Each structure stands twice: as structure tokens, then as C-alpha cells.
Amino acid sequence: MNIHPIKAFSDNYIWVIEEGTEAVVVDPGEAEGVMDYLEEQQLHLTAILLTHNHEDHIGGVKEMLAKYPDTPIYGPKETEPLADRIVQEGESFRLLGQTFQVIKTGGHTHGHISFLMGEEALFCGDALFSAGCGRVFTGDYQAQYDALQKLKRLDDETQVYAAHEYTQTNLRFAHSMQPSNKSVSEALDQANDLRAKEEPTLPSTIGREKKINLFLQAERLEDFVELRKARDDF
């Protein structure tokens, strides 16, 4: 099993999950880089997974379908008609010999979902970032808070494959809020080193996020809302 990031736009990651000659692609906001990679690696596209309906996550689907017709597309109802396998909280399906569980992670959009592959890997779109979380475009802070509480309960070793490279900015925000937090300071130094080498800061892990992600640490909804609004203005 190999999980490979394809860079897109200024800060998106499109994740390619590989097993042997088969591949599943998560949130292809654009197609060209993904199709080039699949061709170079001689991979067969088995399925596409969509976490939500924002253009930078679905924009490449039609072009990919033109090249790979009949590819099944799993996603929440808000991704219709692109998605033909509509999935929701509590459902699961098998791909690449792995079980993918669907977790409702609304807030960023109403229908946002995340995919948990076994217990090892979480593909969470814009619900959870390293040291951060997605903007609450719906205004439903309760939904976003509840989503984070679900993700917080996953195994500490679960790897977190978020869709954006926002780690440095998120950690700078966390450091501004908690300047004496050693875990945050060390994580920021590590992130700066990785980005200086143009390497991804992802994946993270749930255990790591519990130490550095202020949004996961928020004990009350009111604390979360205050943090999220402060981050919006940062």
C-alpha cells in the first residue's frame, strides 16, 4: 500500500491510494497531474472518492471520467450528479482489499464526509487539517465541533491525510494563542524545515493532532467558536 500526494493549485493535495496496479483517487480538484501520474505508474483507476462539493475537490472529475469511463465515484449527496455511489454516516465499502468507513464531518459544507480506511488512514478533506480545521462556511459551528469530536476518538496512530497544506499558518496561529506550548513550537520548527525543502507536512496522526491542534483541544462549543473566528481573522 502506498499513498501518494499530487500537488494541485496553490496548496491542495490530491491523494492517490495505491495497491499493486490499482489506485483510488481522493478529491481530484484537477485532472491533468493525476492522470499523468496514473499513466507514469501504470495504475488502473479503481474509484474516486469525494469528501464534499467544492470546486477545488471535484473540478477534475469530468475530465477523468472522459479518460476512465464507468469509474465508480463515492461521495455525499451534495456531490451528485458527479457521484454515482452516494454514501453516508455509518456505511462502509471495500476497495483495494480495504474497508472504507464513512464518517459525517459537516460544518465546512453541510454534507461533508470523511473516509476512514481500516484504522490506518483518514481522508478528511477540509474537515480537519494539521493544527487546524476547515472554515465553517455553513455557519453550523455545532456540526463542525461534533465532527472534530468524532475524529478525536479515532486511534492515535491513525494517519491524517488532509486536503490542504495549511500547517505552517495553522501552527503560527496556535503559537500566537499559546506561545508557551512546547509541542506547537516544535511542530512549527519541523513544518518550516519540511516546507523549506518543499516536502509535505502531511500525513499527520490523530495522536499528534491532539497535542498541536487547538480546535481538537477545545472542550466546549463556545471555546471552539471563539478559536475558529480568531483563526478566520488571523
What pLDDT, in 10s, does the model give residues 123-158?
999 999 999 999 999 999 999 999 999 999 999 999
CA angle 124, 126, 127 (to 5 degrees): 65
Tell me the torsion sign for CA atoms 15, 11, 112, 224. positive
* Residue % of the chain over a pLDDT of 90: 100
**Domain total for the chain?**
1
Is 44 annotated among the ligand-binding residues?
no
Q: Give me the mean pLDDT over the 219-224 stretch.
A: 97
Residue 133's domain comprises: 2-232
- Helices and strands counted in the chain (H then E): 9, 14
Domain of residue 66, CATH code: 3.60.15.10
- DSSP state, 31? S
Is 57 known to sit in a ligand binding site? yes
CA distance 207 to 210: 5
Whole-prediction pTM value? 0.97
pLDDT band, very low/low/confident/very high, at 79 (cuts 50, 70, 90): very high
Average pLDDT score over residue span 45-50: 99
Q: Report residue 146 CA to chain centroid gap.
A: 16
Q: Write the single-letter amino acid at 94.
A: R
Q: Is the peptide bond before 28 cis (omega within 30 degrees of 0)?
A: no
Binding site annotation covers 108?
Answer: yes
Cβ contacts of residue 217 below 8 Å, gap of 6+? 210
166-196 pLDDT, tens digit each: 999 999 999 999 999 999 999 999 999 999 9
Tell me: cis bond preceding 203? Omega within 30 of 0 counts: yes
Query: According to the annotation, is 164 in a ligand binding site?
Result: yes
Mean pLDDT, to the nearest integer, of 92-121? 98
What DSSP character marks residue 41? T
How far CA 69 is from CA of 4, 66, 86, 132, 165, in Å, comes to 23, 6, 18, 36, 30
* Per-residue model confidence as pLDDT tens digits over 151-174: 999 999 999 999 999 999 999 999
Question: What is d(CA 226, CA 37) in angstroms, rounded to the nearest whole number?
Answer: 41
- Give me the mean pLDDT over the 13-20 stretch: 99
Q: So what's the pLDDT on residue 130?
A: 99
